[in-house]
Amino acid sequence: MDSAIQIIDPTCITDEDLELIAAMDAYVPRTKFKRGDLAVLRGIPDMLRIKHEKAGIPQFWQIRFAVSMWSYELMVVLQGTPGLGMDAAISRIQVPPSEYDRPMIYAHAFPHGENPDTAEWFTELELRRVNLRAPTEDWPVLLDYAKAPYAGPDTENLCFPGLFAIAPDYYAHGENIGKPFPCEEATYHTAALLGLESAMSVPIRPGLALDRDHDIFDVD
């Protein structure tokens, strides 16, 4: 499995850092969601209601990656506590062993070209996978599409030389270009042929809910 962790400064990484990264990668998230998969919201999570309701909440989301709840919580501890050693960091994790492999999913709205600044963390229960996929591009390419500067990830006060591959600095400065990014066009066209163009382009609102028996949900 490819690691969801990107090393920011390889020159300062220690043996203990490598042990922590290996420990995070050891817990594989128990999910069928994979990079590039598309999903729809099962409801409206509070964080979307707070951050995006004014602009409109998209219904379709594309998965960037999934990590285990154990790894997610450990990264939160590492980034929030400077100089914390491996044993101390692990001891602060509040997740019970039965939920170590429960997934946390990082996704952004689809099509991304019409929905800038939407990358969020989700639990698996908040998303329903559909049988559409789209290619994913790395962050520098996406920011270039959205005419936003790319300055790399936010490394200010970094307490650990690695980060999950989340949206970088200046991501919020991206433009709504009014159409899918080039890497999204083929999937968007397929969705339109399936009668889903409005569902992909119009924010969630009463009376516009996607038919939950649609063939798009015919996935394993």
Number of domains present in the structure of the chain = 1
Domain range enclosing 17: 5-214
Q: What is the DSSP string of 114-149?
A: GS-S--EEEEGGGEEEEEEE-----HHHHHHHTT--
Per the listing, tokens 């329903």 go with 128
Q: Measure the CA–CA gap between 200 and 188, rounded to whole angstroms.
A: 8
Residues in the chain: 220
110 occurs within a structural domain: yes
Residue 62: inside a domain: yes
Cβ pair 65, 165 in contact under 8 A:
yes
Provide Rg for the chain, Cα atoms. 18
pLDDT digits (tens, 9 = 90+) for 64-121: 999 999 999 988 888 887 777 778 888 898 899 999 999 999 999 999 999 999 999 9
- The answer to whether residue 220 sits within a structural domain is no
pLDDT of residue 151: 84
Would 219 be classed as within a structural domain?
A: no
Distance CA 173, CA 150 (A): 10
DSSP state of 163: E
List pLDDT tens digits, range 176-199: 999 999 999 999 999 999 888 888
Q: pLDDT per residue over 129-170, tens digit each?
A: 999 999 999 999 999 999 999 887 766 666 677 788 899 888
Asked if residue 138 is part of any domain, the answer here is yes
| Model confidence, pTM | 0.90
User: Is 119 part of a structural domain of the chain?
Assistant: yes
Which two structure tokens, joined as six digits, stand for 86? 């491996």
pLDDT attached to residue 87: 84
pLDDT at 220 > cutoff 80: no
* Residue-by-residue DSSP string for 9-67: -GGG--HHHHHHHHHHHHS----S--TTEEEEESS--HHHHHHHTTT---SEEEEEEEE
In a domain, 176, yes or no: yes
3-class DSSP assignment, residue 182: helix
> What's the pLDDT tens digit per position in 35-60?
999 999 988 899 898 888 788 899 99
Residue-level pLDDT at 65: 95
Asked if residue 93 belongs to a domain, the reply is yes
Residue 1: per-residue pLDDT: 43
